Amino acid sequence: MPSSTIFLIVVTIPVAAYFNWKQLLPDDPEPKDPDGQVLDQLRRLSSNLGKPHTIEFFLYFPTQQAADTVRELLTRKGFSAEVSKAAAGSVWLCLAVKEMLPKHSDLVILRTELSGLAEEFGGNYDGWGTPVVQ
């Protein structure tokens, strides 16, 4: 592998790690354990999983009203959350943020809860992202 290719991989993976778990994964349409795969990637990037991370959870909704309702519910559950127009399309993003240890079991529980909440209001849960913590 040419050294320029290695450099690109080293530079682009940490940047992608911040945004969203889907950007870290191969083109598997339905990863079996997306939370575990992101945690593995964070380990490879030397993120200290024993320290709290600021984790962003992405929920998309067809209407601003649905996104605002979910934002209120998540705020009551200890998340900070904001609603904005999504970068692409006509959907609304509810970005929920929580400072927590990135523990697999907790992330799996949150995935189930957030997926259910999104579905209840006609939306989709689209995973989570976090910066690397040293």
CATH of the domain at 48: 3.30.70.970
Closest CA to 111 of 37, 16, 23: 37
Domain that holds residue 114: 3-129
> Can you tell me the mean pLDDT for 9-15?
34
50 lies in a domain?
yes
Q: Reply yes or no on whether the pLDDT at 25 is more than 90.
A: no
pTM: 0.77
- Check residue 89 and give left, alpha or beta (phi > 0: left; psi -120 to 50: alpha): left
Note whether residue 134 is domain-resident. no
In a domain, 74, yes or no: yes
Assign 18 a pLDDT band (cuts: 50, 70, 90).
Answer: very low
Q: What is the pLDDT of residue 7?
A: 32
- The dihedral built from the CA positions of residue 5, 6, 12 and 16, taken in this order, carries a sign that is positive
Assess if residue 65 is contained within a domain: yes
Question: How far is Cα 73 from Cα 77, in angstroms, rounded to an integer?
Answer: 7
Domains contained in the chain, number: 1
| pLDDT tens column, 110-133 | 999 999 999 999 999 999 999 999
